[in-house]
Amino acid sequence: MATKTMTMAKALNEGLRRAMEENKKVLLIGEDIGKLGGVFRITDGLQKDFGEDRVIDAPLAESAIVGTSVGLAIRGYRPVVEMQFDGFVYPAFDQIVSQVAKLRKRSDGRYTMGMVIRLPFQGGIGAIEHHSESPEGYFAATAGLRVVSCSTPNDAYWMIQESIKHDDPVIFCEPKSRYWEKGEVDLDNPPANIFDAVVRREGTDVTVIAYGATVKTALRAADTAAVEGTSVEVIDLRGLSPFDSATLETSVKKTGRVVFVQEAPLTASIGSDIIRQLTEKCFYSLQAPGLVVGGYHVPYPPTRIEEDYRPTVDRILDGVDRVIGFGS
């Protein structure tokens, strides 16, 4: 097999397939994931191959999708839930926060909520309202859950399998705007520590941390900065909660400057919190306060203007400039 070039969508599809082959207890459940293969075709062909009992077309109710998955998990299954879009996870919020996140604790460890909730998240696809949100912060703030995000096909392929194997519930955030981008997937060798942060580009002047769709934007910003003589280190966070502090600290201690990039607005967000922690851990190394470049504090706008809401290369560079020029 070795490596193969494929889209992130295909990589997820292959990853799900492999997980289902390896463990009969793995079930998929979601809206339109059967014949249609999901609105993004991530589950394409899986119902045909694994049957309607393992790839379950759900009645249209998200609380029920998650609520029944809880019961299936109690019964020993490993449900992989597809939320059709980020903005439709909220009807399931209660089940996620009150049951998924807390049942292991409540049962003193007897229940294993080995369950994945796949969430096509972030914007950038020109959709209508509720199809471009970044709700990952709500889940990161909820003890009992893990939150991860992938940014490349290879990570997507391996991360989904790791998430399914994991005995904790994982909110799996898929950057829908990157579904159709291609990359090499090594089908044989899983990357080590797939939930740890990874340096995607080395640099010395500023650390830029990103996840999901913004990783690529950050890399593009680093390209541009390089032309202007600024060396930007770009880190892909991958595990959002918990996150790999060590890799971030090492980088920030080296560069002395950090910009966090996310599509979510800043208030009570993952970026805010990571900047706070890095400030604590790297206080004497920081030449400037850490910044977050993110969405504005408004509902996701009509998508004709979404690129002015999402962190663009320009806005990331502006952040980089600000941490470099701080105080001067």
Partner 1 sequence: MIDEELVQLLTPEGERVVHPEYESTLSGEEIFGLYRDMTIVRRLCNESTSLQRQGQLALWAPIQGQEACQIGPGRALAPMDFTFPTYREHGIAWCRGVEPKEMLRLFRAVSNGGWDPYKYRHSVPTIVLGNQALNAVGYAMGIQRDGAEEAVLTFFGDGASSQGDVLESFVWAASFNAPVVFLCQNNQWGISTPMSVQSKIPLYHRAHGFGFPGIRVDGNDVLAMYEVSKRALENARVGGGPTLIEAYTYRLGAHTTSDDPTRYRIDAEVEVWRHRDPIERVKSLLVHEYKMKQARFDEVAEEAEKLALQLREDVLAMDRPDPLSMFDNVYADFHPLIEEGRQEMIDLGVTGGAH
Ligand X SMILES: Cc1ncc(C[n+]2csc(CCOP(=O)(O)OP(=O)(O)O)c2C)c(N)n1
Q: Which does 77 bind (CB under 5 to 8 A by kind): its own copies, partner 1, ligand X, none?
A: partner 1
Of 7-15, 24-32, 156-164, 279-287: span binding partner 1 (CB under 8 A): 24-32
Token code pair at residue 182:
């291609």
Cβ proximity of 145 and 96 under 8 Å: yes
- Count of residues touching its own copies (by CB under 8 A): 47
Residues identified as active-site: 131
Instruction: Candidates 84, 95, 122, 151: give the one binding ligand X (CB under 6 A).
Output: 84
Contacts to its own copies from residues 52-71, by CB under 8 A: 63
Q: Is 168 in the site for partner 1 (CB under 8 A)?
A: yes
Cβ-in-10-Å burial (0-12, 13-18, 19+) of 246 comes to exposed
Element containing residue 292 per DSSP (H, E): strand 291-295
Nearer to partner 1, 57 or 186 (CB): 57
Smallest distance, ligand X to C-beta of residue 294, A = 25
**The only residue of 24, 35, 48, 106 in contact with its own copies, by rule CB under 8 A:** 106
Q: Which of 212, 189, 188 is nearest to 200 (CA)?
A: 212
Judged by CB under 8 A, the chain residues 41 through 100 that form the site for partner 1 are 53-54, 57-61, 63-64, 66-77, 79, 87-88, 90-91, 94-95, 98-99
Q: CA-to-CA distance for 278 and 7, rounded, in angstroms?
A: 34
298 binds partner 1, rule: CB under 8 A: yes
* Residue span binding partner 1 (CB under 8 A) among the ranges 147-155, 177-185, 255-263, 303-311: 303-311
309 binds partner 1 (CB under 8 A): yes
Q: By CB under 8 A, tell whether 166 contacts partner 1.
A: yes
Q: Which value, in Å, is the radius of gyration of the alpha carbons in the chain?
A: 19
The minimum distance between CB 20 and partner 1, in angstroms, equals: 13
> Quick check: 140 binds its own copies (CB under 8 A)?
yes
Site for partner 1 (CB under 8 A): which residue of 9, 103, 210, 252?
103
Q: Is residue 112 close enough to count as binding partner 1 by CB under 8 A?
A: yes
Task: Give the nearer residue to its own copies in terms of CB position, either 45 or 289.
Answer: 289
Which is nearest to 155 in space by CA: 168, 170, 173?
173
Q: Is 119 one of the binding residues for its own copies (CB under 8 A)?
A: no
Q: Measuring CA to CA, how many Å separate 308 from each of 190, 197, 209, 227, 320? A: 37, 27, 20, 23, 18
φ, ψ of residue 144 to 5 degrees: the values are 110, -20
Which of partner 1, ligand X, its own copies, none binds 170 (CB below 5-8 Å, type-dependent)? Answer: none
User: What is the rounded CA–CA span in Å between residue 145 and residue 175?
Assistant: 19
Asked if 86 interacts with ligand X (CB under 6 A), we say no
- The pairs formed by 134-138 with CB atoms below 8 angstroms and a separation of 24 or more are 134/86, 134/262, 134/263, 134/264, 134/295, 135/86, 135/87, 135/89, 135/90, 135/264, 136/171, 136/173, 136/240, 136/264, 136/270, 137/264, 137/268, 137/269, 137/270, 138/93
Give the type of residue at 9: A
| The token pair that represents 324 in the structure block | 């470099």
Paired sense of beta strands 55-57 and 26-30, if any: parallel
| Minimum gap (Å) between residue 298 Cβ and ligand X | 21
Residues that bind its own copies in the complex, under the rule CB under 8 A: 63, 87, 90-91, 93-94, 97-98, 101-102, 105-106, 129-130, 137-138, 140-141, 143-144, 241, 264-270, 272-273, 275-276, 279-280, 283-284, 288-292, 296-299, 326-327
Residues that bind ligand X in the complex, under the rule CB under 6 A: 31, 60, 62, 84, 88, 91
